[in-house]
Amino acid sequence: MSMWTVSQADGVEVQIEADALATESGALVALTDDGLLLRAWAPGQWQTAGHVTGVAAHPAGKAGRSPVVVEIPRR
């Protein structure tokens, strides 16, 4: 599975191991390859999500992590 990092609105970064991340009506969900829900963040509870690559799966790693999903606040 792929490793992802999610920056929550409260400033905490969470790492999740999932095959895919998807958004639905402002919510962010982490899914397995079989489509099972692993984790969900409600609208407003997350800011960015990025795919972690390389040595970043190791806590001491320094791989690049750039946001691939950015929550845009609704008006």
Chain segment 12-67, per-residue pLDDT in tens: 999 999 988 888 888 999 998 888 999 999 998 999 888 887 655 555 555 555 55
Task: Report the C-alpha gap between 3 and 20 in whole angstroms.
Answer: 9
Closest by Cα among 3, 36, 40, 5 to 23: 40
Looking at residue 1, what is its pLDDT? 74
The residues facing 46 across adjacent strands are: 8
Instruction: Tell me the domain boundaries of the chain.
Output: 2-70
Task: Report the C-alpha gap between 59 and 32 in whole angstroms.
Answer: 22
Between 5 and 70, the more confident residue is 5
Looking at residue 72, what is its pLDDT? 55
Domain at 2-70, CATH from 1.25.40, 3.90.1200, 2.30.30, 3.40.1130 = 2.30.30
Residues contacting residue 52 through CB under 8 Å, at least 6 positions apart: 2, 3, 4, 5, 15, 63, 65
